[in-house]
Amino acid sequence: MKAVSRIGGVSRRIRLTAHSRVRLERFKDSSGSSSIRFRKVHSASSARTPSAKETNIRRLAAAIIDRVPDFDVSELDDESLDRTVDMIVGLLPRRSAWDAILGPFYTTGSLCRTLNITRQALDSRVRTGSLIRVRTVDGRFLYPSFQIHDGVAVPGLAPVVRILRSGTEDDYAIAQWLATPGGDGRSPARRLLDGESTDVDREARHTAAAWGA
């Protein structure tokens, strides 16, 4: 955008941007004569504040560089940059369509630390039904967080899981059943915490029979 001004019969053009404004100022030269000139002033809105997402991306980039001190950013050409980004993206956690249903997930490492057990002990709990484990399309094992409360597994979970496994081998279906709220707004997992294991066991038997029919 151009603003046209006429002072003393002289036409002046000043280029403006979307974030600029013009201010008239009076100047005096060495002889004492005064004149009016335009001065282009950038508004405060020209300095855009980074979004939270942009800030986090910058933090991630800075953390990567800090942890790999011999990583020379200046040597990244387009091809090596693409390879580096692909490698990093492949390691980042992805949102799953199941997140909204099953809630957050533990990874194998994080759940072992939470329960203070080894991976072998974790595998054993999965086999016996004390814990539910699901597998993503890219082969990662994840553990729905609803089955952990105050750092321990929900009491009474193992018998219910064993009952449900008599009707299906689909652990996603079992996890969904355990996490889905009923008419009172509580899920079977929540009701186990509330001490209603007998009622949950009975409902699990009806569900397993329906799945296996």
Compute the radius of gyration of the chain from its Cα atoms.
32
- Of the two residues 112 and 95, the one the predictor is more confident about is 112
Stated pTM of the model:
0.54
How far is Cα 154 from Cα 143, in angstroms, rounded to an integer?
Answer: 13
**Domains of the chain, residue spans:** 2-46, 52-91, 99-212
99 falls in which pLDDT band (50, 70, 90)? low
- The length of the chain is 213
∠ CA 5-9-11 to the nearest 5 degrees? 35
Q: What is the mean pLDDT of residues 174-199?
A: 93
- At 181, list the tokens: 């709220």
Q: What is the pLDDT of residue 22?
A: 46
Q: What is the pLDDT of residue 100?
A: 66
Lowest mean pLDDT among 6-15, 49-58, 112-121, 201-210: 6-15
What torsion, rounded to 10 degrees, do the Cα atoms 36, 38, 39, 43 define? 130
98 falls in which pLDDT band (50, 70, 90)? low
How far is Cα 65 from Cα 32, in angstroms, rounded to an integer?
Answer: 58
Burial letters 126-154, b for 16+ CB under 10 A, else e: beebbbbbbeeeeeebbbbbbbbeeeebb
